[in-house]
Amino acid sequence: MSDAAKAAITNIFVLMLENHSFDNMLGRSGIPGLRVAPTDASNSYDGQTYKVKSPAPWCMTTDPGHEYLDALQQLCGADAFGRFVKKCRKEARDFIECAGCSYPPVDNSGFASSYATSVSEDTGTPQPGDIGDIMACFDTPVQLPVLFTLATEFAVCDAWHSALPGPTWPNRFFVHGASSSGMNISPSFGDEAEWEAWRGLGFEYANGSIYDALDARQHQWKLYQDKDNGFSDRPSHWDQGGWISQVAAIKNIGLERIDNLTKFADDINARDHDGKPSYIRYPYTFIEPNFGASFFSPQPGGDGKGPRYTGGSSQHPEDNCYGGEGLIKYVYETIRNSPVWETSLLIIVYDEHGGFYDSAGIPEAAEPGDHIHAKDRKLNEYCFDFSVLGVRVPAVIVSPWIAKGHVDHTRYDHSSVIATLTRKLGMGPLTKRDTAAADLWPLLTESAPRSDCPTTLPDPVLPPQGSDYETGAAPDNRHEQPLPRSGNAVGFLHVLLKTEIELAQKCGGRAAEDIIADFRKIETHADASAYVGKVKAMLDAL
């Protein structure tokens, strides 16, 4: 590590995308030195063997499962999955009763069987000929030239794991608090439907979020999101909810705190009266993509009723990667050509593996050790104790202080983001997880900022005609299509519920009980779209 580099960094940026494993995105990139899936790696299902292959389809026809139980089947195989579920029934909520349910041995044998059978978000199951797509790896230089260029120009990490073997929401909570407060599943309707609204207006951490910690030390921070959906080739409509921010689920973070990414360039290029960059007063910036069609989006051929997340910039599996490549390009080029470039560190990482095959195992992890509230036990499936990390995900680290073409084998997880930031600012850890996490400072080895870093990146590649997702026409019974009972769509609705209650409290509006009573009436995609419009209008009026 260069002491000069660590001292020079004034701004840490994080861009977190969606749902891809390391092997899926970079396993056939051809980058020398990467630890990737061997050529003979395979899974079997129903008498058929599915080998790792390349290229990958531009998008998946159905959403691979990535809930906690999906990941368990993928990592441990269908037989071990069945034995585990039988032993540790979901009804056994008491942690003492579940003490014997340790995570089974991992052999990465269940990805194909999981993809063939999972119906986590009701997007249907794949056709037999598509099952092998779960084992596919992108031809990274050809299909993902933006990510490939950054991976070869700066540092790529081949041992960055998601925080737990499970879905988007708890993994994203880890990047903001080094914990998910015991949550290992997606938000769902049910007894815990108001988990964000009733727990102090937001998802709570026992030790607070990183934003609480920054506030306590009087450090400023910024949040941005691709709200206007400026990068997709076929952007979803605003009433499909892709602009709803996941970080706004957290206590003390309102949707009004998240700036539109359209402001990013002006903000980062601003200067004070003395000519110094104004943005150096924001040591931490977190950027979210547009999540695409989170509500009603018809499935090809009418199969499945769940959301597809198409037309966004998150790179969700059923969307193509074009929008996300455009987002990465914009964020990098904006920072690269700004006055804070030489004092910046950009972390590009994916929240979880999205159900895609990866050849690495899952390592042991430090349990966060923060208090698990009684309510959180409803959000913890099969008594998971957080003693293991999740599947590997892509991570590319960008700074002019990083040597070109570096391949890093250090083990990281999402708590490494917090460890990197807090150790720079002289702050203490939030949990035992970030206490144990490796930080990124050893990657900054240059004695001075490089002068050969590209000012522009290649343009994203549009999928060839006919190889992309189908848009389809909305069926006649659109207004009757039910929402899935769990998943991102449910979580986004709860962010809106939290927002409506917060705004009502600030403006002397309706009582929370009345707002929640109306919220409980939301059952269909049309109901959800109407609610999106209602809350958006309230925000626009601020």
**Extents of the domains making up the chain:** 3-464+485-540
Average pLDDT in the chain: 90
Other C-beta atoms closer than 10 Å to the C-beta of 493 total: 26
What pLDDT score was predicted for residue 96? 43
Closest CA to 239 of 33, 424, 492, 447: 492
Q: What does the pLDDT look like over 114-171, one tens digit per residue?
A: 999 988 767 788 999 999 999 999 999 999 999 999 999 999 999 999 999 999 999 9
- DSSP for 140-153? HHHH-HHHHHHHHH
Does residue 92 surpass a pLDDT of 60?
A: no
Q: Judging by DSSP bridges, how do beta strands 155-157 and 395-398 pair with one another?
A: antiparallel
d(CA 218, CA 441): 23
pLDDT band per the 50, 70, 90 thresholds, residue 95: very low
Range from 5-19, 270-284, 416-430, 488-502 carrying the lowest mean pLDDT: 488-502
Other C-beta atoms closer than 10 Å to the C-beta of 508 total: 6
Given a contact cutoff of 8 angstroms between Cβ atoms, the answer to whether 69 and 165 are in contact is: no
Alpha helices in 77-139 (DSSP H): 78-87, 111-117
What pLDDT score was predicted for residue 89? 62
349 forms beta bridges with: 16, 395
Closest CA to 417 of 389, 397, 403: 397
| Span 466-487, average pLDDT | 64
What tokens does 147 get? 């990510």
More confidently predicted of 321 and 120: 321
What pLDDT score was predicted for residue 489? 81
d(CA 264, CA 275): 19
More confidently predicted of 370 and 210: 210
Does residue 299 surpass a pLDDT of 80?
A: no
Q: What does the pLDDT look like over 230-283, one tens digit per residue?
A: 999 999 888 888 999 999 999 999 999 999 999 999 999 999 999 999 999 999
Q: What does the pLDDT look like over 365-419, one tens digit per residue?
A: 999 999 765 455 667 888 788 999 999 999 999 999 999 999 999 999 999 999 9
Does residue 97 surpass a pLDDT of 60?
A: no
156 forms beta bridges with: 396, 407
Helix, strand, or coil (residue 321): coil
pLDDT band per the 50, 70, 90 thresholds, residue 473: very low
Does residue 291 surpass a pLDDT of 50?
A: yes
Residues 6+ apart with CB under 8 A from 70: 64, 114, 118, 120, 355
| Strands of 11-17's sheet in order across | 259-260, 221-225, 284-288, 11-17, 344-350, 395-398, 155-157, 406-408
pTM of the predicted structure, to 2 decimals: 0.95
| Span 439-445, average pLDDT | 98
What tokens does 80 get? 């071990």
The arrangement of secondary structure in 3-464+485-540, i.e. its CATH architecture, is 3-Layer(aba) Sandwich (3.40)
Q: What does the pLDDT look like over 187-198, one tens digit per residue?
A: 877 644 445 445
Burial label, 377 (beta-carbon count in 10 A; 0-12, 13-18, 19+)? middle
The span from the first CA to the last CA of the chain, in angstroms, equals: 46
